Structure 1
Amino acid sequence: MSPLVARAQAMKSYRLGYLALLPGEDTTLAKPLLQRLQELGYRKGMNMILEYRSADGRAERLPQLAAELVRAGPDVLIAGYGTLAPKAAIAATSSIPIVFTSVGDPVGAGLIASLSQPGANATGLSAQASDITAKRLQFLADLIPGKKLVAVLGNPDTPYTALALREVTTAAASMGQPLAVFEARTVDQLPTAIHEATISGAVSMLVLEDPVLLGAKQETIELLAKARLPAIYGVRDYVEAGGLVSYGTDQRQMGRRAAEYVDKILKGASPANLPVEQPTKFELVINLKAAKALGLEVPPSLLARADEVIE
């Protein structure tokens, strides 16, 4: 018997809840978290029961699913990608510890009192980084130089979008880069938003990450390819699915860190006193096949900076 299994068997049994907005999150964005929990000695069927609920992209279902998880009595409630799942979890319980895995602006969204002292029953990982949106804009300028119009696609109902828009507007003003913002609150609004961006004269697009839009990543990629509009994304999943380039936080690292927060709380730490961690690792991923399809030559200087190149 391995030492890890022996340790798992010796530990008391824990019940964890996981609330997801996106479909299939347990096999995608949550996978690194679950793997790290296993490394830490938590094993399903041995000393861990995992209650998983997904809204399958339908945000209106989150309050009901959060209430179901609370009734199951988990030791820790994990809130998946984005802000909406943590918001529903926090509204459902003020006593069960909550660990959120990737929130753009947890203070601005009213989830916690401050990053250093969350203050209640929730803590976790923030995807907020002050200059990340500006860097994406610069990478687009490296790909398509000449101060040509850049379209920004975002969901205005997402708290992170407001923050990201302020940052990208400030960065564009300092660069002398013209911008135009196009909104898509639902998947159905994507074709119109991308068509309007194309006819506006935009030559590239910055896609602001959002759970609703991420759930429609394949449709977004296909619409942009059809419009021949090069785009940069905040999540590498887009590039793995055929998008051009992404620059953002390493979601795998964040998932693993979230598992470590769960472990700390199960061992007695209070979420009120566990500072929310901001990202320290970022990755630039470039898809050369997508670049070729768009007729783009990726500058060698940009390729040299890439953490991964998909050919």
Structure 2
Amino acid sequence: MGLTPLSQILSRYPEFARRLGSAVERDRELLRHPKVQEWMARLSLEEAEVLAASTEWWTWLEEEDACAACPGLERCPHRLKGYRAIPTREEGRFFFRYEPCAEWHKATDAKRRRRLFRLIGVPEEFRDVRFSDAEEDDGNREALRAVRKFVEDFPRTRGLYLYGTFGVGKSFLAACAANELVERGHSVYFVYVPSLVLELRASLDGGEFLPKLAELVQADLLILDDIGAENATAWVRDEILMPLLQGRTQAGRPILFTSNLSLQDLLENYLLGASDIEAGKVYRLVERIRSYADVYHVKGRNRRMRK
């Protein structure tokens, strides 16, 4: 007895026939899709190869539509959030390869930058500035070139001491250097000195003072922003500034200083109220900075004021 013709079977089961017809039409729709045809031509795929993975192809098309109107990594609807499927054929076998998308790389890079670039008391927007954003003029040209050279020679370089009046762009230039070095994979600690003093003082009770100080010594670059603006006590000088200078010079790790004060003014500021014994320690501190860092006067208009 022969097999029952398919037409008779379908006539007995109309719902099955309807579903079968829908499946056939959906397969035709898949094969006609421009994106599928593009990849079929690119990978020399046979129709049978595409239809064998039809479910994966339809998922891929849905995800491609979602990528075209990307809602961001947090709301990514893909099965593998932040990954994009790429039709692939290797050694005669077809499959979908998953690769991180641009948003995933952006988020990962942001995490990496936050891990490498740590701030204390410094505006978050400093994470985004670059040398291309700097306005060069007669007032800052020499300092700008020095900071660029500092980055080019890093880490085999002397420290820098940038000083000038409020708002001329000293911290901005330091941030440009920091971001360039972070891009190269270096770790940077950028600290506003008065805020650093408060944080380290608060860490004394919890036994975190020495570990925090060690982090500052070990970073590839330490930026001490607005040195001289802190309350210049003997404790700050002997327990924070001198250990940082001593530890980093011994390790060959540079410091980039910014200040509103010249080194002479910084010396006089630290000498205020100091005894004869204390004065000797102050001289040693400032002399250590002088011998360790090249000094540049940043001049010009107040760049923080609106034009």
Question: TM-score under structure 2 normalisation?
Answer: 0.28
Which of the two has greater helix per residue?
Answer: 2
Which of the two has greater strand per residue?
Answer: 1
Structure number with larger C-alpha Rg: 2
